[in-house]
Amino acid sequence: MKKDKFWKNKNVLITGVAGFVGSNLAKNLSYNGANIIGLTKSKKIDSLLFFENIDKKINLIFGDITDKELLKTIFNKFNIEICFHLAAQAEVGIANKYPYTTWESNIRGTYTLFEVIRQNKKIIKAVVVASSDKAYGNYPISLLPYKENYKLKPEFPYDTSKACADMIAFSYSTKLFKIPVIITRFSNIYGPGQLNFSTLITDAIRSCILNKKFNMRSNGLAIRDFVYIDDIIDLYKILSKNLYSNPKKFSGQIFNAGTNLKHKVKDIIKKIFTYGKKIKEYKKLEKTMHKNKTTGEIPAQFMDYKKLNLYFGWKPKYSFEKTLPKLFKWYKSFLKR
């Protein structure tokens, strides 16, 4: 893979660096010569960052995103030029159980970070904020895919936390503070290196590989869009580089990203079980899944990428079906080790 000279010696902060996306982003940018400063709350054993020794190639700092003094130290010591704000409590189920801690991390963490950035805005050239499609809330399927100009209508705790963080980030991009900010709202991201096995795709693949029972938590009728991690890393690089070079044009912009394909959850599981040669197990699962009930979940969500394509010519390169062989190969290797 050819190195991108833009990143050489750039000082880049990634909050939530031990997460799935953060680990993959740190891996890519460190390969391209960036000086990565990564913030994570604790040493997660179940993180790609440590599994592939990416932590040895970056400046890793343990601490909380709400710790203002720690953030000040990071910005003063490392002269941060580009920041990817990925730190968040990202699980819907946990947010429904523990809304307070979710709001502390996702909302307080965001305004704490931006207050520190505001005091260092002479150095910072680009801030990319990871929001979520869930910030839009529940729209009828007839109005989907979500558009960037849709009003945010969150209802549940996680959705509310992301919508609040969005509005805070946007406020700092306005004429009052003039911080160069782009807000991203992406569909469900999947791919190698996702070691949270409570997520749908990883749990189903592990079930197939290890011949273990798959715990179906819903009736499978929810509609979702799934976008591959390599597409997302490519997109983060495009957005941050353009914001860095032309803040007047791009600051305050919101970009959705997905594949514009809607999948029923049960169809995604079926594709995984079919590829894993477990179709009999899927048919047994299908007989009972309609009995499952979920609360605190939006029934239909999917994105298009029209605005991204218009601005940058971006479109996803990977389809779910074509990534399955690579996914199975990676998780087989991981689970053996």
Distance CA 57, CA 31 (A): 9
82 CB-near residues (< 8 Å, 6+ apart): 10, 11, 12, 13, 124, 125, 126, 127, 128, 240, 244
* pLDDT value of residue 282: 87
The string of pLDDT tens digits covering residues 182-234 is 999 999 999 999 999 989 999 999 999 999 988 888 888 999 999 999 999 99
* pLDDT value of residue 180: 97
Q: What is the CATH architecture of 8-193+226-261+301-317?
A: 3-Layer(aba) Sandwich (3.40)
* pLDDT value of residue 317: 96
Distance CA 231, CA 208 (A): 25
pLDDT band at 241 (very low <50, low <70, confident <90, very high): very high
Please compute the mean of the pLDDT values over residues 35-46 and round it to a whole number.
89
CB atoms within 10 A of CB 51: 16
Residue 158 a catalytic site member: yes
Percent of the chain whose pLDDT exceeds 90: 85
CB atoms within 10 A of CB 77: 12
Asked whether the predicted pLDDT for residue 294 surpasses 80, the reply is: no
* pLDDT value of residue 264: 94
Asked whether the predicted pLDDT for residue 288 surpasses 90, the reply is: no
* Domain layout of the chain by residue ranges: 8-193+226-261+301-317
**Active-site entry in 136, 158, 282, 331:** 158
Average pLDDT over the chain, rounded to an integer:
94
CA angle, corner 82, sides to 122 and 118, nearest 5?
40
* pLDDT value of residue 215: 83
3-class DSSP string for the chain: CCCCHHHCCCEEEEECCCCHHHHHHHHHHHHCCCEEEEEECCCCCCCHHHHCCHHHHCEEEECCCCCHHHHHHHHHHHCCCEEEECCCCCCHHHHHHCHHHHHHHHHHHHHHHHHHHHCCCCCCCEEEEECCHHHHECCCHHHCCECCCCCCECCCHHHHHHHHHHHHHHHHHCCCCCCCEEEEEECEEECCCCCCCCCHHHHHHHHHHHCCCCCCCCCCCCEECEEEHHHHHHHHHHHHHHHHHCHHHHCCEEEEECCCCCEEHHHHHHHHHHHCCCHHHHHHHHHHHHHCCCCCCCCECCECCHHHHHHHCCCCCCCHHHHHHHHHHHHHHHHHC
The string of pLDDT tens digits covering residues 80-105 is 999 999 999 988 889 999 999 999 99
